[in-house]
Amino acid sequence: MTRVVAYVDGFNLYFGLKSKSWKKYYWLDLNKLAATFLKPGQMLQDVYYFTSRIRDNGHNAADQKRQSDYLEALALHGVKCQFGHYLKKERTCRSCHSSWVGYEEKMTDVNLAIQFMADAFDDAFDLALIISGDSDLTTPIRRVRERFPNKRVIVVFPPKRHSKELELHAHGRLDVNERKLRASQLPDQLLKPDGFVLKRPATWT
């Protein structure tokens, strides 16, 4: 049996869905999604989800609640979440020169790369699914293939996300399409062990 581990770049997937205006698929069961790419004789061992928690800016409590509910729902389904952080960064408009404080997400691709490479060295998988279109992941894929020629790496591109470099250095490429998203939704309600019910958000931003 071929052991498969999936590594999900949360931001790349989210913005891919957003670029297609597919908010209705945000309540996504990542275990189910990863399983749609398996072939006979393959078994899903783990799914890792890499993202950062939304920072409190005094106006985004609803966004934080939606994200928190989603992360809890993923954890209930056995998805292993790892978190980066947001770095405060001053931005300036080139036209009017006005300035404002923004936030830049950090560490997601690094965390994914480290987990992927550590799992390769620990012999945790035979086949890795890298669900991302971020070309920054090209180097870890190339290094794993060099060190472990018997392990296979498949890149899975989210909607409207693609990297020629990733595709070139992986063993193959697949795509997240609407049919797979439709078939990979979490239940509208999930019961936590403490009796609390997580519900699919009625609206998304």
Give the span between the Cα atoms of 200 and 189, in whole angstroms.
Answer: 6
pLDDT of residue 55 exceeding 80, the answer is no
Domains and CATH numbers, the chain: 2-199 (3.40.50.1010)
Token look-up 């830049």 returns 104
Which residues have C-beta within 8 Å of that of residue 33, sequence separation ≥ 6? 131, 176, 180, 181, 184
Mean model confidence pLDDT for the chain: 90
pLDDT of the residue at 99: 62
pLDDT tens, position by position, 183-198: 999 999 999 999 899 9
- 47 and 78 Cβ atoms separated by less than 8 Å: yes
pLDDT of the residue at 64: 85
Q: How many CB atoms are located within 10 Å of the residue 117 CB? A: 17
**Residues 116, 171, 163, CA angle at the centre, nearest 5°?**
80
pLDDT of residue 101 exceeding 60, the answer is no
Residue 125 has which token pair? 């998988």
pLDDT tens, position by position, 104-125: 555 788 999 999 999 999 999 9
Q: For the chain, what percent of residues have pLDDT higher than 70?
A: 87
Band of pLDDT at residue 134, cut at 50, 70 and 90: very high
Measured CA distances, 35 to 69, 95, 135, 181 (Å) = 22, 48, 24, 12
pLDDT of residue 173 exceeding 80, the answer is yes
pLDDT of the residue at 39: 96
Strands 99-106 and 85-92: antiparallel
pLDDT of the residue at 89: 53
pLDDT of residue 205 exceeding 80, the answer is no
Best CA proximity match to 131, nearest among 147, 150, 108, 103: 108
pLDDT tens, position by position, 12-40: 999 999 999 999 999 999 999 999 999 99
Best CA proximity match to 169, nearest among 126, 124, 134: 134
Give the span between the Cα atoms of 143 and 153, in whole angstroms.
Answer: 11
